[in-house]
Amino acid sequence: MDVSKRIRTRFAPSPTGFMHIGNLRTAIYTYIIAKKYGGDFVLRIEDTDQERYVEGAVEKIYDTLRVCGLDWDEGPDVGGPVGPYIQSERMGTYKEYALKLIESGHAYYCFCTKERIDALHKEQQEAKVSNMMYDRHCRELPEDEVKRLLDAGTPYVIRQKMPLEGSTTFHDVLYGDITVENTILDDQVLIKADGMPTYNFANVIDDHLMGITHVVRGNEYLSSAPKYNLLYEAFGWEVPQYIHVEHIMRDAQHKLSKRDGDAYFGDFVEKGFYVPAIINYIALLGWAPKGENEIFSLSELVEEFDISGLSKSPAVFDPLKMKAINAEHLRRLSHEEFKALAMPYIRQTCKREDIDADVLVKTLQPRTELLTDIPEKVDFIDKMPEYSDELYFNKKMKTNAETGLEALKMLLPVLEAVSDWNEESIHAAAFAEIEKQGVKNGFMLWPLRVALSGKALTPGGGIELAAVLGKDVTIERIKSAIAKLEG
C-alpha cells in the first residue's frame, strides 16, 4: 500500500436505516488506516437516492460512529475544506463533470424511456442473454438529433461510453491487478433522469474532489471498479488505492442480514455487548493481528493494524466468540468502570439499597459475559425464589439436606455474633467455626449459599452473598432455611 503522501480516507454511508455490522467494520478499517498513518478520516453522506432516504438515518450514523469513537475529521456537521459533505448538496458539481465527459466523448445523452429499458431487460431475460446490458441505442445519436430532443425538453440520462474493445486493469491493494474485457462493461448511467448522479459516478467525483487517497469498501464493488478506472482515466485523474474487504457471513452461504436479528450495531448494544468489544470482534472478522493477542481497544487496533492481515475470503460471524471477547473486555475493566456499566443492569431486578454493591460487583465481574446476563443473576437478592431441598445435595462436598440443616444451625449463632458485618469478618467467623467443628469448607459454605440464594448458580459463594445481603437479611434467610428443612 502506498502511504507516501498524506492519507485521506472516507466512510460514505447512505442514510437508508440502521448501521449494518459489515458497514461498521468498513468504517473501522477506514478510520484505522487514516489514523495509523496520521491522515484524515472523512465522513460523507451519500443520499442520492431520494426514494430510499430514511428520516433520522443520518443522525443514526453520527450516533453510532461517535459511540464507537470513530471520530471524523471532516464531515457534514463538523465541516472541512472540501465540503459540502452531503451529496445532495453537491448537485451542480456532478452535472458539470458529466457534461465534460460528453464533450470529451466519454459519455452521451440517452433518451430511452424507462419503458424501453424495461422491455429490453425482459427481452434479454427471455433470450437468456448471458451478459445483460443496455443496447447502446442512443450512443451514436447524431448531434442535431440530440440537440432537438434536448430543446424539446425530452427527459434524459447521461451514460458512460465504454470502450468497445480492449481491456481494463485496476489495482486492489489486497487482490492485486484485476483485468476485465471492456466488452462486458455496461454503458452505465452517470446522471439519472432526476438530475441526481448515480452512486458510482458521485463516488468518483467526490473521492477525487475530496482528495481521497485510499478507498476501503465492500467486496460488492469489486466488479464495478473497472468502470471507475475508466472514469478516472477519462478525467485524467489519479486513481485512489482500493481495498476491497470481504463480507461478513451468517454461515457459508448467507450474508449477515437483518433477518438474523443481529446484523445491526444497535442489536448488539441491546443484547448487552460492550461497545469496545463489539469493535474488537468485528475488526477481527476478516483481519488477523500479527501477534497472538487479540484483545484490543480502538487505539490499540490503530497501533496493531496492518493491511496484510486482511482476508480475501468471507468470514462467518461467530456469536460465541464475540461473547468471549466481550467477557474478556469486561474482565479487564477497573472495578469502578465495571460498576458503572453493571449497576443499571443490577437495578433491573435488584432494587434494594442496603446491599454491599461493591462485593456484588466484584463477584459479578469475572462471571459476566453479557451485561444483560446480570439481572437474572441477582434477582434472588430482593426476593428468595422457591427452591427444592435438592439444592443442598452436592456429591463432591458430600452435603445434602440433613447436613445442610446441621451446618446452618452451627453457622447461625456464629454469624449472629458478627458485629462488624463485612466480607472479611464473615469469612473469619465462618472459617473459625469450620475449623472448630473440623468439617470441610464445603460442608458449611455450600448450604449457606443455598440458604441465601435458593439458586444453583450464583455470583460468588456463601460468604460473598452474606456480605452482599447484609446481616439482617442473612440471619433471616438462614432462619427460614432452617425452618424449611425442619418443616
Q: Which of 258, 290, 312, 383 is catalytic?
A: 258
404 near RNA, judged by CB under 7 A: no
122 near RNA, judged by CB under 7 A: no
* Selected binder of RNA within 446, 467, 468, 471 (CB under 7 A): 446
Q: Which is nearer to RNA, 255 or 352 (CB)?
A: 255
Stretch that binds RNA, among 146-154, 232-240, 270-278, 314-322 (CB under 7 A): 314-322
Q: How far is the CB of 15 from RNA (least distance, A)?
A: 9
132 near RNA, judged by CB under 7 A: yes
* Selected binder of RNA within 313, 385, 435, 483 (CB under 7 A): 313
Q: How far is the CB of 284 from RNA (least distance, A)?
A: 5
Stretch that binds RNA, among 62-70, 77-85, 193-201, 271-279 (CB under 7 A): 193-201
Q: What angle do CA 327, 329, 330 make, to 5 degrees?
A: 65
388 near RNA, judged by CB under 7 A: no
Residue whose grid cell is 461493591: 358
Q: Give yes or no for a contact between 61 and 19, defined as CB atoms under 8 angstroms apart.
A: yes
Instruction: List, in sequence order, the alpha helices (H) in 372-422.
Output: 374-377, 401-416
Q: Measured on CA atoms in the order 457, 463, 465, 468, is the torsion positive or negative?
A: negative
Residues 221-240 that bind RNA (CB under 7 A): 221-224
- The one-character DSSP state at 476 is H
Q: How far is the CB of 360 from RNA (least distance, A)?
A: 12
63 near RNA, judged by CB under 7 A: no
Q: Which is nearer to RNA, 49 or 267 (CB)?
A: 49
64 near RNA, judged by CB under 7 A: no
Q: Which is nearer to RNA, 352 or 427 (CB)?
A: 427
Q: Is 258 a catalytic residue?
A: yes
262 near RNA, judged by CB under 7 A: no
**Helix H or strand E segment including 178:** strand 176-181
Q: What is the distance between the alpha carbons of residues 171 and 225, in angstroms, rounded to a whole number?
A: 9
Q: How far is CA 428 from CA 77, 367, 423, 470, 475, in A?
A: 60, 25, 9, 16, 17
Q: What is the distance between the alpha carbons of residues 24 and 39, in angstroms, rounded to a whole number?
A: 19
Q: What is the distance between the alpha carbons of residues 319 and 145, in angstroms, rounded to a whole number?
A: 60
Stretch that binds RNA, among 1-9, 140-148, 178-186, 342-350 (CB under 7 A): 178-186
Q: Where are the beta strands (DSSP E) in 196-247?
A: 214-218, 241-245
Stretch that binds RNA, among 33-41, 60-68, 128-136, 400-408 (CB under 7 A): 128-136
119 near RNA, judged by CB under 7 A: no
Q: Which is nearer to RNA, 6 or 220 (CB)?
A: 220
* Selected binder of RNA within 95, 192, 250, 271 (CB under 7 A): 192
Burial status of residue 308 (CB atoms within 10 A of its CB: 0-12, 13-18, 19 or more): exposed
* Selected binder of RNA within 61, 399, 459, 474 (CB under 7 A): 459
* Count of CA atoms in the C-beta half-sphere (13 A) of 62: 9
- The one-character DSSP state at 237 is P
Kindly list the catalytic residues.
258
